[in-house]
Amino acid sequence: MTAPQTPTTAEELRGAGLRVTAARVALLETVRAGDHLDVEAIATGVRDRVGHISLQAVYEALHALNAAGLVRRIEPPGSPARFEGRVGDNHHHLVCRSCDVVVDVDCAVGHAPCLTAADSQGFSVDEAEVIYWGLCPECSAAGTAAP
């Protein structure tokens, strides 16, 4: 029996109802190859792949990909928005207070929402976002103080 084939980036875009363009393919592949990239880093990665693209076009494409569930936007307080390709699971993030590195951490519970609000105020809660703050191993070893 043959294993199912992984869809191409173009097929994923089509499946999400989005028009396939070289810039969108490059953008999605850049986000997935990166590590919690900000918009400037994504724009640089896309430009390396396809040439010129305006920052506005990057913002618009990221908005469309996020709305389609192909990328996830995270915005730790005090940091610019970052984007990641890990979607569709219940995970959280560790953020270093010194160097701003962001890493994924699986939820201890494993299903969404992993936290229950003390008072949901009538909301039907389907997700909880958790950010753990501290110092990464490199900053801890260097004796870097958190700002």
Interior CA angle at 51 toward 61 and 5, to 5°? Answer: 60
Burial track 20-39 (b if 16+ CB lie within 10 A, e otherwise): eeebbbbbbebbeebebbee
Domains of the chain: 9-74 (1.10.10.10), 89-141 (3.30.1490.190)
Q: What is the pLDDT of residue 44?
A: 97
Residue 48: phi and psi, rounded to 5, are -65, -30
Q: What is the mean pLDDT of residues 111-127?
A: 80
Q: What is the pLDDT of residue 32?
A: 96
To the question of whether residue 107 is assigned a binding role by annotation, the answer is no
pTM: 0.84
Helix or strand run (H / E) with residue 84: strand 82-84
Is the Cβ–Cβ distance between 87 and 45 less than 8 Å? no
pLDDT (tens digit per residue) in 52-103: 999 999 999 999 999 999 999 999 888 899 999 999 888 899 999 999 899 9
Q: What is the pLDDT of residue 112?
A: 65
To the question of whether residue 99 is assigned a binding role by annotation, the answer is yes
pLDDT (tens digit per residue) in 8-55: 999 999 999 999 999 999 999 999 999 999 999 999 999 999 999 999
Q: What is the mean pLDDT of residues 126-146?
A: 84
Q: Tokens for 76?
A: 């730790």
Pure H helices in 6-125 = 9-15, 22-33, 39-50, 55-67
